[in-house]
Amino acid sequence: MREIDPVREPSEALLSSALHRLATAGDRNAPPELGASLMERFRHHHRRRRHMRLAVAAAVAGCVLGLAAFAGMLRPVHTADKKTPVHTPEEAPAIAPAVRASSAPGSEPKRHWTEQRRTITGATQAANDEGFVPLPSYDPASASSDLQMVRVEVTGSELRMLGARVAGDLSDRPVMADFITDRDGTPYAVRLVQ
């Protein structure tokens, strides 16, 4: 800004002085209520954004879990397909024999179960002793310690879809079975009740 000489330019000096007075005459700040209102809007906006982010994260997690569950359901089918030549209804041991075999020392299911014993919880160990057969969806690395047992009536074909070895004559017959499942419903092991 250039300096104004009040002697040589009195009108300029007086105008500057008057403008200065005008600048200091009015309100210097926005009303405090405006600040409070904006602060509240800021909080509201970011609260909503946080909720949106949580909802999106939950949706994504749900999709991932759903896909994982779906993949888990598909995996036994593929396994069964691959092993079809070995486990034809005539040759493959039915689930009932498998349950029986699990109590026999040295049998294949028992060995499989025993290999995983290092990581499985006390609950599943106890379950193994009671004749449960592990399902392909059982993953020792990700299995939680919070397991539950549920008894449901299923058909042999449904059991086969879960990856259990089921004799062909059981395909359409409803059978009672005990499942050991995770809290999210993932089945880890099964045994036939009847």
Partner 1 sequence: MEEIFKFAQWIVGAEVPGKTMAELARDDQELLRQLSKGNEAAFKSLYERYQGPIYRFALHMSGNSATAEEATQEVFMHLINNARGYDAGKGTVAGYLFGIARNITRRAVKDSRCEQALEGEEIESNEFAMAEELDVLGDLTNGELLAALRSAVLGLPQQYREAVVLCDLEELSYQQAAALLGCSPGTVASRLHRGRGILKKKLSYQKCVR
User: Would you say 38 or 59 has its CB closer to partner 1?
Assistant: 38
Contact between 137 and 76 under an 8 Å Cβ cutoff? The reply is yes
Both structure tokens of 24: 């200091």
48 counts as binding partner 1 under rule CB under 8 A: no
User: Would you say 47 or 78 has its CB closer to partner 1?
Assistant: 47
- Closest distance of CB 28 from partner 1, Å: 6
**CA max distance for the chain:** 120
Round to whole Å and give the CA distance between 78 and 58: 30
114 counts as binding partner 1 under rule CB under 8 A: no
- Closest distance of CB 7 from partner 1, Å: 11
Residues 6+ positions from 3 with CB-CB distance below 8 Å: none
50 counts as binding partner 1 under rule CB under 8 A: yes
Round to whole Å and give the CA distance between 155 and 150: 15
User: Would you say 31 or 85 has its CB closer to partner 1?
Assistant: 31
3 counts as binding partner 1 under rule CB under 8 A: no
Residue from 165, 163, 154, 153 nearest 186 by CA:
163
54 counts as binding partner 1 under rule CB under 8 A: no
Round to whole Å and give the CA distance between 58 and 52: 10
141 counts as binding partner 1 under rule CB under 8 A: no
Q: Give, as ranges, the residues between 6 and 45 that touch partner 1 (CB under 8 A).
A: 9-23, 25-31, 34-35, 37-39, 41-43, 45
User: Would you say 34 or 64 has its CB closer to partner 1?
Assistant: 34
- Closest distance of CB 54 from partner 1, Å: 13
| Residue 14 one-letter amino acid | L
Residues 6+ positions from 114 with CB-CB distance below 8 Å: none
For partner 1, the binding residues (CB under 8 A) are: 1, 9-23, 25-31, 34-35, 37-39, 41-43, 45-46, 49-50
